[in-house]
Amino acid sequence: MSLLEVDRLDARHGLLQAVRQVTLRVEEGETVALVGANGAGKTTFLRSIAGAHQPAAGSIRFDGRDVTSVPPHRRVRMGIALVPEGRRLFPDMTVEENLRVAEAGARRSGPWTLARVIEVFPMLDALLRHRAASLSGGEQQAASIGRALLTNPRLLLLDEVSLGLAPVAVEGLYGSIAELVGSGTTIVLVEQDLTRALAVATRVVCMLEGRIVLEGAAGDVTREQVVEAYFGLGRGPAREEQPA
């Protein structure tokens, strides 16, 4: 049994179908990089897993339990945490207050404590009493990931964590993500930067127009194959079509 099992998922924004019949399995301890151009359906797919977007069809199972209709706060308590695009911290609260809110709301015990988060993101130690709105983009992203970790997730969903950050901030952030990968945290990572994604992932999944068009172990899929699938120029080692 996989930790996450998504079967034939459809998701819409009004009349626009953003995700089309997507089936995906994620094993415990994996890092899956979900790549694709803007509008490929990646964020909607991640939000559907987290419960922030209700799918039109299909099912989502987490640790053997059907969570398709389970509300987001209950999914957090089950061990699913989303770091959304744009960070979405509470701007007038301090960094520590942002972190503690997540810790209290999740009601989950586990290895992630405030001290452990600061080990991974040491820059946060001096910022705990600062308002979240006063932080740089990289600092806000570190706080956002730290907030998710304090829910002690079994599955961490990261949506475009490097978007809009300076190169030095991205470098530090991905150093921390590599540490999370090394700790055995199960991660699904949406990322536009193919080089970064391929460097940390154990498996790569490429979406195009709402569908998965390529999937493979990171060591078996070349950058050229990913680029071709990314732009719809060729299928590379595409997954087999699921039977109707």
How, if at all, do strands 80-83 and 155-159 pair?
Answer: parallel
Closest to 161 in 3D by CA, of 186, 189, 199, 200: 189
Q: Summarize pLDDT for 164-191 with one digit per residue, the tens.
A: 788 888 888 888 888 888 888 899 999 8
Q: Which residues contact 119 (CB under 8 A, 6 or more apart)?
A: none
Using DSSP's 3-state secondary structure scheme, residue 100 falls into: helix
Q: Of 1-5, 18-22, 100-104, 237-241, give the lowest mean pLDDT range.
A: 237-241
Which one-letter amino acid corresponds to residue 89?
L
Question: Do 211 and 20 contact (CB within 8 A), yes or no?
Answer: yes
The residue type at 107 = R
Closest by Cα among 183, 147, 173 to 31: 183
Provide the 8-state DSSP code for 226. H
The sign of the dihedral angle between the CA atoms of 176, 179, 181, 184 is negative
Run of H or E including 46: helix 42-50
- Of residues 12 and 238, more confidently modeled: 12
Class assignment of domain 4-231?
A: alpha beta
Task: Please check the confidence at residue 242 and state whether its pLDDT lies above 80.
Answer: no
Q: How confident is the model at residue 243 (pLDDT cuts 50, 70, 90)?
A: very low
Q: What pLDDT does residue 238 have?
A: 47
Q: What is the pLDDT of residue 197?
A: 86
Domain boundaries, the chain: 4-231
**Looking at residues 72-83, what average pLDDT do you find?**
95
**Main-chain dihedrals φ then ψ at residue 219, nearest 5 degrees:** -75, -15
Report the range of poorest mean pLDDT among 25-39, 50-64, 74-88: 74-88
Interior/surface letters 196-221, b for 16+ CB within 10 angstroms, e for the rest: bbbebbebbbbbbebbbbbbbebeeb
Q: What pLDDT score was predicted for residue 234?
A: 58
Confidence label for 236 from pLDDT (cuts 50, 70 and 90): very low
The one-character DSSP state at 79 is T
Q: What is the mean pLDDT of residues 199-213?
A: 95
Q: Is the pLDDT of residue 214 over 90?
A: yes
In the numeric block, the tokens 């990171």 are attached to 218
Give the mean model confidence (pLDDT) for residues 69-91.
92
pLDDT band at 144 (very low <50, low <70, confident <90, very high): very high
C-alpha closest to that of 139 among 99, 81, 80, 181: 99
Q: How far apart are CA 100 and CA 129, in angstroms?
A: 12
Mean pLDDT of 195-205: 91
Q: How high is the pLDDT of residue 225?
A: 93
